[in-house]
Structure 1
Amino acid sequence: MNSVWALLASIALIRTTLYNYLPEKLRLYISARFEEWTRRFNTDETMVFKDYQSSKMNQLFQAANLYLGESLPTISIPRVTVEKTENVRNLTFSMEKNTEMIDVYENIPMKWKYFSDYSQGMSKHGIRWYELSFHKEYKSLVTNCYLPYILERANKIKERNRVVQLHTAAHDFWTPKPVIIQHPMTFETLAMDGNLKKELVEDLDRFMNSKEYYQQIGKVWKRGYLLYGPPGTGKSSLIAAMANHLNFDIYNSNLSAVSSDFVLQNLLLSTANRSILVIEDIDCSIKLQNRESGIEQPIKYQQQNKLMFLQVTLSGLLNFFDGILSCCGEGKILVATTNYKDRIDRALLRAGRMDMHIYLTYCTFSAFKQLALRCLEISDHSLFHHIEKLLPKVKVSPAEVAGELMKTRDPKASTEGLIKHLEEKLIADGNSEVSPKHHSSLSQTSNCQVHKSSISLPLACNGASMDNVKSPGPKPDVSVKSKLTADGEGDNNFEKTDLVRDRSSRHNILQVIEDMEKELLSYKEAIIALQKKSCGTLNKLAGIKATI
């Protein structure tokens, strides 16, 4: 024992002598050689992952934080930090200062220690770091396998734990504070044709599992979907279901609010990876010019007595879909919606831009059965065959059908109410093919047969000259034909016939008004085209005048 103390005293004396009398460079050299000599007897090696909490985050530190936090609830540690913020779904766990834990990877123990320093001599944010210790013979395994494994697991944990958020464009930028989406719509609750839904889900899953395949064939890992169909058929609900299925944020943009192609490109660059970029009503957001003219100029329009220019062009939109800037990022999904597919330029619809075209129509019997199972918890009913016959004849959206089914939880009363609603729409549309076998109260109120009415009204142009525009369709004519049976009392039959005739006439008048509105819109588009042509001619004349 005395010999040990004597040895330690001698080492201390030698160290003091070296420090006081030897030059600094010589002292450093001797110290380095001494540490190298002692390291030969140490079998462990240590890696340090520092995080200075600055703008440049250490991805390995963040990954280790997520990876180790997932294991903390299952192991015994004296102190653990637990947090929950609105931007994550679950609780998050992290190690306390100066604590350690053991992780096992391929039967090899990996010792982790966590340290932090928030002393006054450091920056106001301080510094945090992990130390990973392992046997030095496993250094290659740790570098080539363990650390990439941690990065991969951390990405999966991050994706699984984050909440879906909605980003909207304002003043040429995405809003700094996105809104958390709590939309309950999923593919399980979405009323949609069963085969089409299955095809879409399989396409999404196949895309998410094809990152390496896209890299192998040299394509950007992105996907485009076009949702088209009549209004109110569930395009927005489908987007919400896609976001919940993939756990992707939604970036919603209105092209009419984007000032230029440059801003459009910046919006694309600032979208996060693994997100859904939505362009709603792409056919009417901006007026895309005809590329066959060979001239693509900013479009002029009048706003508050100022001549403004709309700078988003068709070529800018095409580059936005699959130009060189679309290569920045990965796992992005682009969704465009429209009510009129035929109004979109064909170049926007080709594969690589819109890879899958999804037609959303009015409620089908398959979608109705899904709604009945969700709202009434029934998969079959004796009245289903009546609904199956009525649905192909009536234009009714899935949301409208769901609203009727939700009025009561009683299956019989709910289905009867839906049948009555469908019959009323069928008669209002001028179709008299209503089955007399079911128990709809409307079918029992009259035994008259109402034929489809044809009503047209003359177009009033408020004195404007429309000589060059011909109004399509037949001349103004109003005719309502009805046929009464001889059964029952005449007065009652006439009253009921008048009731049904009045309903049919009012609906047909509304239909004619809608047709007139569409006709006026077509005239408006023709006038706008003429104005554009006149502007082009005026510009050419001005150029000729300037040269003269």
Structure 2
Amino acid sequence: MEASVWSGLNSGVVLSLVAVLWTVVWQNLQHLQLQQFFGRHLSRHARRLAAMVDPYLSVTIAEYEGGRMKRSDAYEEVKAYLSTACSRGVRHLRAEGAKDTDKLVLSMVDGEEVADEFQGATVWWWAYSRPPPRTDGAAPWWGGGGGAQEERRFYRLFFLERHRELVLDTYLPRVRRLGRAVMVKNRQRKLFTNISTHQWSEDGFARSAWSHVVFEHPKTFDTLAMDLARKKEIMDDLDMFKNGKDYYARVGKAWKRGYLLYGPPGTGKSAMVAAMANYLDYDIYDIELTSVHSNTDLRKLFIETTSKSIIVIEDIDCSLDLTGARKKKKKAAEDDKVKKDGAADEKKDTSSKVTLSGLLNFIDGLWSACGGERIIVFTTNHVEKLDPALIRRGRMDKHIEMSYCSFEAFKFLAKIYLDVESHDLFDAVGELLREVDMTLADVAENLTPKSVDDGADSCLSALVTALEEAKEKKASGGNEQDEQDEEDQ
């Protein structure tokens, strides 16, 4: 009996050892396969159990998409849609200016929740934000990783699983559609200017590259002094662009158009931009190129512009070295960074490194197709100084010369400023305008009453006097030049 006991014990030990060895071998051979199998098996049961315990699904809509490169249209549309719904049941609201200066656009602050009804289903919207993860690295311009950046904002939609198809296929598209309608109704047009590149993250917080004010410029095509035929030509071109989404898609071009406005100072180039913006109901983004550090930063500026906008670079011939000459910088200019006592190594290089190539890619490169319905406008006083590659058709599609005041433009200004359509002095003004060049700004200034006693007679007399003085100056200048030429000979 004793032997049988030991025999039984030995058999048990052997079996145990075999079991342990088999377990080790099994784990070594099929560890990953088993984990995957049981993981999938348990995951399925976990999901079923979660559905029984929590029957709600959620959809999260973030403020930015593509990292922080582009603001989400869906987020803005949901925000606009909820601006009409949230005021009913939300206790804490955020207010922003609306198109009507007496009204406000309301939105939920973080942590608030609002219910919405649709075809018998109840859904819940929750607004929240979260701070980005902090690391010791420097924040890149797109806001991913790096140091502390601005908090991320979100909307999260909760709904019952049985309403999945209704919410995803019908309710959410309706929200976006109605949100766009609210945005159009409440939209305040804005004038943007770019912030210096080095201020985007100077205190560790990544910010938008743009700041803005409400755009309230009064200039329209109705008050723009220009030949009526040319004015109509420009307005027709703008109409074709605004309504050309299908055309641009059909021919395979980005939905954008370039305008080059050129002419002497004071001929109304900035006024033309304002009239275009008012006619199209577009925002304006005014880029100061000297504040842009690199081509990469220029792309970021473009990405952060919205559709239905005019992107303007004024006096582009003065902004950077973008002329046809494009000579290499002298070594002496580069030596401005010479180190002094080792301190210069730590200073930021704030000079602009935007190149002609970078600007060309900004206008019609791959990045220019990010978004649509944008107009790019360059203004210059010296079109002959610009590189031909910069202003060729396809980049600057329409060239508009803003010239000196013509007689037709003068009559338009006289009607606007003095409310007169004919006068004894009109013939004198017309004859003088054919002999001397005077800008629209100078003509308008002479037609502006200087006191309550000034009327059409005094203002037109002042204009004739100014034109005669300009004629005499031109003549004396020509005589002096002739005398100089004779002396040189």
- TM-score category, normalised to shorter length: 0.5 to 0.7
Q: Would you say 1:180 and 2:213 are equivalent positions?
A: yes
What amino acid is aligned across from residue 318 of structure 1 in structure 2?
A: L
Match of 1:148 in 2: 173
Closer/same/farther in 2, CA of residues 343 and 397 from structure 1, 3 Å limit:
same
- In 1, the alpha carbon distance for the partners of 2:486 and 2:407 equals 36
Match of 1:280 in 2: 314
Q: Secondary structure at the match of 1:231?
A: coil
How far the C-alpha of 1:228 sits from its partner, in A, is 0.3
- In 2, the alpha carbon distance for the partners of 1:340 and 1:383 equals 37
Alignment partner of 1:203 out of 224, 237, 255: 237
What amino acid is aligned across from residue 105 of structure 2 in structure 1?
A: T
Alignment partner of 1:231 out of 249, 260, 265: 265
- In 2, the alpha carbon distance for the partners of 1:238 and 1:26 equals 64
- In 2, the alpha carbon distance for the partners of 1:53 and 1:349 equals 36
Residue pairs, 1:388-407, within 5 angstroms: 388-407=430-449
Match of 2:104 in 1: 91
Q: Would you say 1:306 and 2:325 are equivalent positions?
A: no
Match of 1:462 in 2: none
2:308 and 2:373 in contact (8 A); partners too:
yes
1:243 and 1:276 in contact (8 A); partners too:
yes
Number of equivalences: 397
What amino acid is aligned across from residue 164 of structure 1 in structure 2?
A: K
- In 1, the alpha carbon distance for the partners of 2:177 and 2:356 equals 39
How far the C-alpha of 1:85 sits from its partner, in A, is 2.3
1:342-372 CA distance string (max 9 Å, x none): 2223222222100011111122344334434
Match of 1:66 in 2: 80
Match of 2:480 in 1: 455
Residue pairs, 1:6-25, within 5 angstroms: none
2:261 and 2:401 in contact (8 A); partners too:
yes
- In 1, the alpha carbon distance for the partners of 2:401 and 2:467 equals 23
Alignment partner of 2:288 out of 253, 266, 270: 253
How far the C-alpha of 1:229 sits from its partner, in A, is 0.7
How far the C-alpha of 1:87 sits from its partner, in A, is 8.1
Match of 1:358 in 2: 400
Closer/same/farther in 2, CA of residues 179 and 427 from structure 1, 3 Å limit:
same
Q: Secondary structure at the match of 2:471?
A: coil
Closer/same/farther in 2, CA of residues 368 and 212 from structure 1, 3 Å limit:
same
- In 2, the alpha carbon distance for the partners of 1:259 and 1:25 equals 50
1:54-113 CA distance string (max 9 Å, x none): 98888656523412534789xxx577876532587652245896765556xxxxx47554
Q: Secondary structure at the match of 1:84?
A: strand
Residue pairs, 1:310-325, within 5 angstroms: 312-325=354-367
Closer/same/farther in 2, CA of residues 218 and 127 from structure 1, 3 Å limit:
closer
1:233 and 1:398 in contact (8 A); partners too:
yes
Match of 1:517 in 2: none
Q: Would you say 1:422 and 2:485 are equivalent positions?
A: no
2:289 and 2:320 in contact (8 A); partners too:
no
- In 1, the alpha carbon distance for the partners of 2:93 and 2:263 equals 48
Q: Would you say 1:375 and 2:381 are equivalent positions?
A: no
Q: Secondary structure at the match of 2:232?
A: helix
How far the C-alpha of 1:394 sits from its partner, in A, is 3.9
Match of 2:274 in 1: 240
1:375-422 CA distance string (max 9 Å, x none): 34x252434733444443442222223333332587x94332332233
Match of 1:165 in 2: 191
How far the C-alpha of 1:234 sits from its partner, in A, is 1.3
1:42-62 CA distance string (max 9 Å, x none): xxxx97544588988886565
Closer/same/farther in 2, CA of residues 32 and 95 from structure 1, 3 Å limit:
closer
How far the C-alpha of 1:326 sits from its partner, in A, is 2.4
Q: Secondary structure at the match of 1:396?
A: coil
Closer/same/farther in 2, CA of residues 81 and 407 from structure 1, 3 Å limit:
farther
**Greater C-alpha radius of gyration:** 1
RMSD: 5.0
2:194 and 2:210 in contact (8 A); partners too:
no
- In 1, the alpha carbon distance for the partners of 2:62 and 2:287 equals 34
- In 1, the alpha carbon distance for the partners of 2:84 and 2:420 equals 41
1:127-147 CA distance string (max 9 Å, x none): 8644578997x947x655654
How far the C-alpha of 1:223 sits from its partner, in A, is 1.1
What amino acid is aligned across from residue 166 of structure 1 in structure 2?
A: F
Question: Which runs of no fewer than 5 residues in structure 2 stay unpaired?
Answer: 1-41, 134-150, 201-207, 339-350
1:166 and 1:180 in contact (8 A); partners too:
yes
- In 2, the alpha carbon distance for the partners of 1:290 and 1:279 equals 18
Q: Would you say 1:222 and 2:256 are equivalent positions?
A: yes
What amino acid is aligned across from residue 253 of structure 1 in structure 2?
A: E
Q: Secondary structure at the match of 1:455?
A: helix
1:112 and 1:132 in contact (8 A); partners too:
yes
- In 1, the alpha carbon distance for the partners of 2:476 and 2:154 equals 82
Match of 1:192 in 2: 226
1:459-481 CA distance string (max 9 Å, x none): 8xxxxxxxxxxxxx44379xxxx
Match of 1:332 in 2: 374
1:362 and 1:398 in contact (8 A); partners too:
yes
How far the C-alpha of 1:230 sits from its partner, in A, is 1.0
- In 2, the alpha carbon distance for the partners of 1:182 and 1:29 equals 52
Closer/same/farther in 2, CA of residues 203 and 145 from structure 1, 3 Å limit:
farther
TM-score, structure 2 normalization: 0.63
- In 2, the alpha carbon distance for the partners of 1:190 and 1:407 equals 19
Higher relative contact order (CA 8 A, sep 6+): 2
Question: Which runs of no fewer than 5 residues in structure 1 stay unpaired?
Answer: 1-23, 40-45, 104-108, 433-449, 460-472, 478-548
Closer/same/farther in 2, CA of residues 278 and 128 from structure 1, 3 Å limit:
closer
TM-score, structure 1 normalization: 0.57
Residue pairs, 1:338-349, within 5 angstroms: 338-349=380-391
Q: Percent identity?
A: 29
How far the C-alpha of 1:196 sits from its partner, in A, is 2.6
What amino acid is aligned across from residue 299 of structure 1 in structure 2?
A: K
Closer/same/farther in 2, CA of residues 290 and 197 from structure 1, 3 Å limit:
closer
What amino acid is aligned across from residue 187 of structure 2 in structure 1?
A: N
- In 2, the alpha carbon distance for the partners of 1:427 and 1:286 equals 38
